[in-house]
Structure 1
Amino acid sequence: MESELQAPWWEHLPEDFWRQADGTELDAGNRLKVHGTAAIERVLRTSLSSTVATAMSVALYKGGNAGHEFEALRFYEPLARAGDATRVFLQPPKGIAIETSPATGCSVGLRGIQRFQLRFASPFKPLNPAAQAQFENMQNNLLAHAQHWCHGDRPRPTLIVIHGFAADAPFLNAQALSLASLYRQGYDILLFTYPHHGPRAERGDLFSGVGLFGRGLLSFTESPLHAIHDLRVFIDYLQERGVEHIGVTGISLGGYTASLLATVDERLSFCIPIVPAVSPIDLFLEWWPTSVLLPRLMRSQGVNVAQMRGLTAVHNPLTYKPCIDGKRVLIIGGAGDRFSLPRHLRLLQRHWPDSQLHWFPGSHLIHLGRGEYLLRMRAFMDQWCEALH
């Protein structure tokens, strides 16, 4: 019994978790919305899965890299099993110089908002020595970027926004989350650029974000660690400017990363993951054609589902004890989501006792009921920040 209690989450999770039936309390009363958006999303999911499968296949099978990659992944499993975030997410150095310049790009709907582009040379070093050579060959990805919407009159509560895969454009996230409205209601906003996206994409990348999967499993595993490192530098920057209340939100990959940040950095006032991925291996087993590629790859390396989860668990929010109280966490999910199915969000909610879970009658990409969850999100932010003046 004692050994069972000490077993990590990936060994407790049923082997067939990715196959289990799913649903939410919204399904019966919103059948058309939930099942309609789910049907559309299954088609769109195949497109994304094909992109991931193609990028990963090229990286893994070029020059027989698969065996080498899996051997390198074994470095992370003992660290994940130990569950000590301080051994994985090392504190970034203090006093990093951050360049500031006026932000450019699409400004539709952003009239009157002071926007600045922030950039610094990231001192992040891969945790796994096997990743060092590949990391040193990158150029653009070594520069951290964020867009800062700052009133400039005094330190204000600040919302950090982390985008989803291939959805790094600030105006997309501004529209999705009505960020201009939050700004005009008194919040500052910091839109973080995830590694391998936007200006961090390397020359020759076919599109923003492809480098996340297109450089193999080792790079895929180090990227969330890199993201957390750079986010903590930006939190340092905000605190040096006198900001006391800092919260984080993100959509999809951004929601996953926001959840991870809340298990690493206790300085957050709140965390609002939106349609977050929670167990990436199970997602890939649910999607086609990654549902074909991944099992074939695991069989070739003699790895089962639980072991595969463990090899990549070093960057999973379920692996570590949360740094902030569950009352400060609001999870938002789509009842018809077929990218991150509802059972994934329930895993995250169970990881944070007392956290809240809000369902909307839409999907991962089609956010029906968005207005309702944005109102709840705003009220939740106000609850954990001092009154705005």
Structure 2
Amino acid sequence: MSIPLPLALAMDRAVGFISGIANNLPAEHPDTRDELEAYLDKPFDVAFPAPPVPNHAHLSRFEARRGYTVEEFRFDSAFEPMSAHYKERHEHDYIENRHVVGRIYRHDDGHPRVMVIYIHGLMQPGPVMEERVLIPRILKKLDVDVCHLHLPFHGRRKPANELIHGGFFWTSDLVRSFEAIRQSVSDVRSVIYYLRERFNQPIGLVGMSLGGVITMTTVCVEKDVDFAIPVIAHQSLSDAVTRAPILTRMREELNQRGLSEADLIDIESRLGLSRMKPVIPTERMLWINARHDLIIRADAVERQWRDWGEPPIRWYEGSHMSIVFEIPQVMGWIGEYLDDLALVPRHGMRRRRAA
């Protein structure tokens, strides 16, 4: 169900206004530009090293629900910061991020299914809404199993001194921001390896907004992914910083520190983010984006899409936040794509194909 475009655009502006108020509550984020040298011009296997297979995980079975079971897992994050100073911060100020946390939802009928690792967006206020509303819908409509991963600084990994979920993830503290991306990718890869050890089923990534950015970055360094579906996402973080309404404070603080858009583009290139290319085939990706997104701009999406070899892409006529009204269409596109991939034998009723 689409909504009028003026209302869709107003939703993006409204979330920018609200996030601006929330982001203005903490004190100024540290200026870590002088520490960036440790991160610049590094090979991808240094910036994003493969983690080991987790050797121990704590499991707690929550409940058996109608048609599926839910269990929570936790294991030590293999992430290692690149700078000694941030390593100290990571180990003392952000101890909640030293563990990878998530939940696994599996159907109990024994039929073969793919496993979707769902990666949420920026500033998601904990897992309650997604785990009570979105994930049951994914389980039913897409007929898949789901692993819901909590990104650093979000959900059960939110530090006590972080006022809002994800408030420390992407800020003018450039070292912490890049390390948050590095840890997210490392943790996603660890979860892939963990699930491979436990279950014999295809595994893919579905990421929303920030989760889509992490999905894209992961498939540039990790081949062991059967499919990847980034939703309302691109990798041009410099474009988002200079244009997205939800990043106004970050933009203003960086400007006050003398960093221009050209400086951010150069930093992004030297960090490697804008030079990354997928290591999985383009046909194993489906992009879903909004034509009138004020946060993830369509022109930046199209530039990366062409640079990546034009993988399959779907567009809806709305904004970033109006995706809440586009979920049936988005689910239809994803279901159609998974049917066409044919990673597992179909059983029962075939998913209804998108119009």
TM-score, with structure 2 as normaliser:
0.85
Sequence identity percentage: 21
Aligned partner of 2:352 in structure 1 is none
User: Which of 92, 98, 105 is matched with 1:149 structurally?
Assistant: 105
Q: Is the CA contact (8 Å cut-off) linking 1:53 and 1:289 kept in structure 2?
A: no
1:88 aligns with 2:47: yes
Deviation at 1:121, TM superposition (A): 1.5
Question: Which sections of structure 1, spanning at least 5 residues, go unmatched?
Answer: 1-29, 61-65
Question: For 1:165-244, what aligned pairs fall within 5 Å after superposition?
Answer: 165-167=122-124, 169-174=126-131, 177=134, 179-183=136-140, 186-213=143-170, 216-244=173-201
Deviation at 1:266, TM superposition (A): 0.8
Question: For 1:1-389, what aligned pairs fall within 5 Å after superposition?
Answer: 33-52=4-23, 55=26, 58-60=28-30, 66=31, 69-79=32-42, 84-103=43-62, 111-137=66-92, 138-151=94-107, 153=110, 156-167=113-124, 169-174=126-131, 177=134, 179-183=136-140, 186-213=143-170, 216-287=173-244, 291=248, 294=251, 297-298=254-255, 300-301=257-258, 303-313=259-269, 318-367=274-323, 368-384=325-341, 385-389=343-347
Q: Is the CA contact (8 Å cut-off) linking 2:53 and 2:194 kept in structure 1?
A: no
Q: Is the CA contact (8 Å cut-off) linking 2:119 and 2:150 kept in structure 1?
A: yes
Task: Supply the distance in 1 between the matched residues of 2:66 and 2:90 (Cα, whole angstroms).
Answer: 39
Deviates most, 214-223 or 159-168:
214-223
Deviation at 1:233, TM superposition (A): 1.1
Q: Is the CA contact (8 Å cut-off) linking 2:245 and 2:294 kept in structure 1?
A: no
Task: Supply the distance in 2 between the matched residues of 1:243 and 1:365 (Cα, whole angstroms).
Answer: 36
Task: Supply the distance in 1 between the matched residues of 2:130 and 2:273 (Cα, whole angstroms).
Answer: 23
Deviation at 1:325, TM superposition (A): 1.2
Task: Supply the distance in 2 between the matched residues of 1:85 and 1:322 (Cα, whole angstroms).
Answer: 12
Deviation at 1:275, TM superposition (A): 0.8
Task: Supply the distance in 2 between the matched residues of 1:176 and 1:356 (Cα, whole angstroms).
Answer: 28
Q: Deviations over 1:313-339 (max 9, x none)?
A: 577754212111111111111223212
Task: Supply the distance in 2 between the matched residues of 1:174 and 1:221 (Cα, whole angstroms).
Answer: 28
Task: Supply the distance in 1 between the matched residues of 2:212 and 2:250 (Cα, whole angstroms).
Answer: 25
Task: Supply the distance in 1 between the matched residues of 2:41 and 2:154 (Cα, whole angstroms).
Answer: 29
Q: Is the CA contact (8 Å cut-off) linking 1:325 and 1:352 kept in structure 2?
A: no
Q: Deviations over 1:36-93 (max 9, x none)?
A: 31133213223224444654x6122xxxxx2xx11112332212xxxx4222111112
Q: Deviations over 1:83-140 (max 9, x none)?
A: x422211111234211111237xx9xx6432111010111311023331111111221
Q: How many residues were matched structurally?
A: 342
Q: Is the CA contact (8 Å cut-off) linking 1:50 and 1:288 kept in structure 2?
A: no
Q: In angstroms, what is the RMSD of aligned CA positions?
A: 2.8
Q: 1:269 to 1:286 in 2, by over 3 A?
A: same
Deviation at 1:356, TM superposition (A): 1.7
Deviation at 1:280, TM superposition (A): 2.4
Deviation at 1:371, TM superposition (A): 1.4
2:55 is aligned with what amino acid? I
Task: Supply the distance in 1 between the matched residues of 2:131 and 2:200 (Cα, whole angstroms).
Answer: 21
TM-score, with structure 1 as normaliser:
0.78
Q: 1:336 to 1:172 in 2, by over 3 A?
A: farther
Q: Is the CA contact (8 Å cut-off) linking 2:207 and 2:214 kept in structure 1?
A: yes
Task: Supply the distance in 2 between the matched residues of 1:292 and 1:188 (Cα, whole angstroms).
Answer: 38
Task: Supply the distance in 2 between the matched residues of 1:315 and 1:103 (Cα, whole angstroms).
Answer: 40
Task: Supply the distance in 1 between the matched residues of 2:312 and 2:330 (Cα, whole angstroms).
Answer: 12
| SS of equivalent to 1:189 | strand
Task: Supply the distance in 1 between the matched residues of 2:282 and 2:182 (Cα, whole angstroms).
Answer: 23
Task: Supply the distance in 2 between the matched residues of 1:215 and 1:136 (Cα, whole angstroms).
Answer: 21
Task: Supply the distance in 2 between the matched residues of 1:269 and 1:77 (Cα, whole angstroms).
Answer: 30
Q: Deviations over 1:195-242 (max 9, x none)?
A: 011111112322222232469221111011111111111111111124
Q: 1:128 to 1:263 in 2, by over 3 A?
A: same
Q: Is the CA contact (8 Å cut-off) linking 1:157 and 1:243 kept in structure 2?
A: no
